[in-house]
């Protein structure tokens, strides 16, 4: 995500293209991937565009000559779980427990855990495991012959899955952060796949 470029985000078509070089996986097996932006995700990208839209990168570094370091989010999340980490507090870096969940009963978490959480939420919303795997760009199990011949992209099913997840996240965050849009640059209004977005 941190390597995303604005040229690959189409706000009008509500898609985000991930070229194979930015996709995790084994060399030679990586494929281009499209994410269909739910109204929730589209709103987030629109807000981000107001902040970084003048850059090539969705998440530019300070010099704006590349994207931020791909480890920066993991470090930031870890710094905010200080009691669960065996780290020395560094100057000019946060060192607190603001991101400790469930009072630390389940240990620390990483940004990659959000993929599992999203998949679990999709499953709870009735999305099939095959579609969840495709949304997460996993190489599908089965024979090489079957993978070679079956090329349907499941675009509509993935779009529905992303919309269901976006609706659920919007619902959760709207209940958690009951504030007006002027209180926060990144507000979480209750947009759903069936509602319309305000003009950008």
Q: What is the pLDDT along the chain (200 residues), one digit of tens a residue?
A: 899 999 999 999 999 999 888 777 666 666 778 899 999 999 999 999 999 999 999 999 999 999 999 999 999 999 999 989 888 888 888 889 999 999 999 999 999 999 999 999 999 999 999 899 989 887 666 555 555 555 667 899 999 999 999 999 999 988 876 655 444 444 445 555 555 444 44
Q: State whether 75 and 149 are in the same domain.
A: no
Q: State whether 61 and 143 are in the same domain.
A: yes
Give residue 67's pLDDT: 94
Q: Is 28 left (phi over 0), alpha (psi -120 to 50) or beta?
A: left
Q: Do residues 88 and 95 touch, judged by C-beta distance below 8 A? A: no
* Residue 48 covered by a domain: yes
Q: State whether 101 and 157 are in the same domain.
A: no
Q: State whether 121 and 176 are in the same domain.
A: yes
* Residue 135 covered by a domain: yes
* Residue 197 covered by a domain: no
Q: What is the CA radius of gyration of the chain?
A: 18
Of 200, 182, 176, whose CA–CA distance to 37 is shortest?
Answer: 200
Where in the sequence is the domain holding 89, given as residue range(s)?
A: 71-106
* Residue 194 covered by a domain: no
Give residue 145's pLDDT: 54
Structure tokens at 156: 């509509």
Structural domains in the chain (count): 2
Q: State whether 131 and 48 are in the same domain.
A: yes
Q: State whether 91 and 167 are in the same domain.
A: no
């Amino acid at each position: 995500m941190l390597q995303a470029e604005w040229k690959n985000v189409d706000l009008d078509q509500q898609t985000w293209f991930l070229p194979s070089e930015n996709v995790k996986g084994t060399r030679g097996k990586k494929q281009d991937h499209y994410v269909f932006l739910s109204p929730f995700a589209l709103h987030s990208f629109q807000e981000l565009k107001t902040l970084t839209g003048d850059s090539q990168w969705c998440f530019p570094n300070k010099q704006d000559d590349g994207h931020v370091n791909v480890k920066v989010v993991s470090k930031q999340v870890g710094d905010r779980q200080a009691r669960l980490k065996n780290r020395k507090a560094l100057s000019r870096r946060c060192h607190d427990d603001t991101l400790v969940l469930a009072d630390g009963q389940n240990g620390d978490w990483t940004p990659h855990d959000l993929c599992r959480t999203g998949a679990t939420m999709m499953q709870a919303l009735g999305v099939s495991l095959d579609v969840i795997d495709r949304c997460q760009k996993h190489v599908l199990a089965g024979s090489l012959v079957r993978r070679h011949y079956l090329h349907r992209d499941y675009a509509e099913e993935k779009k529905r899955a992303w919309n269901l997840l976006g609706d659920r996240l919007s619902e959760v965050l709207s209940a958690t952060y009951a504030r007006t849009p002027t209180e926060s640059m990144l507000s979480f209004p209750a947009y759903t796949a069936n509602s319309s977005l305000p003009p950008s």
